[in-house]
Amino acid sequence: MMVIGPLMIEHRLIERMVNILDKELQRAGKNGIINPADLDSFVEFMRVYADKCHHGKEEGILFAELGRKDVSREHRKVILELVSDHIFGRSQVAKLVALNADYKAGDKGKLKEITEVFSGLAVFYTAHIRKEDKDFFIPVMRYFSPAEHQAMLKASNEFDSNMDLAKYQEMVLSMEKALK
């Protein structure tokens, strides 16, 4: 197994969470109501699971190790793009936090803006995941020796052992159930 194994598995959970919010906001478009607690859960998931844990490993392990390699100009460009995608994603999540605070304070008109910001983030982040899965993770694996692959996987497992990943799997499962 290589470090991109757990990273790709994490992509699948992130996609499921994005899907949940997407369905909820579609529903809200019809009845005008969103549960602000679900938006809070989404924000926590994106900040802790997607950003701290997932981006943490991408940037802190994979991109960092690629930084020590003589990678192609194209791959170097993609790494910069991916890191700036992470920054943009963070800024959109922060926007959702502010909008949700207004919504909770009684400004129901913010629902439209929440939906717009979320939709933008969903499209953008789905494309980010596709970029990594289809065009980046596999081609850059060739820069590493078997021992280096092993070391990165070990670092990834150690990183995860400090995180409560089960909490986020349960969060997604229970929100999926509640949607039905």
Contact residues: Fe ion, CB under 5 A = 58, 132
Q: Which is nearer to Fe ion, 49 or 103 (CB)?
A: 49
Collect all residues with Cβ–Cβ distance below 8 Å to 86 and sequence separation of at least 6: 51, 55, 58, 59
Q: How far apart are CA 156 and CA 172, in angstroms?
A: 22
Residue with tokens 């757990």: 6
Q: Which is nearer to Fe ion, 4 or 34 (CB)?
A: 4
Q: Least separation, in Å, of the C-beta of 110 and Fe ion? A: 28
Q: Least separation, in Å, of the C-beta of 159 and Fe ion? A: 14
Q: How far apart are CA 152 and CA 31, in angstroms?
A: 48
Q: Least separation, in Å, of the C-beta of 59 and Fe ion? A: 8
The C-alpha R_g of the chain, in whole angstroms, comes to 18
Q: How far apart are CA 176 and CA 48, in angstroms?
A: 19
Q: Which is nearer to Fe ion, 58 or 65 (CB)?
A: 58
Residue with tokens 């929100």: 175
Q: Least separation, in Å, of the C-beta of 71 and Fe ion? A: 16
Q: Least separation, in Å, of the C-beta of 141 and Fe ion? A: 15
Q: Which is nearer to Fe ion, 9 or 105 (CB)?
A: 9
User: Which of 14, 39, 32 lies closest to 117 in space, CA to CA?
Assistant: 39
- CB atoms closer than 10 angstroms to residue 65: 18
Query: Do 101 and 87 contact (CB within 8 A), yes or no?
Result: no
Q: Which is nearer to Fe ion, 36 or 60 (CB)?
A: 60
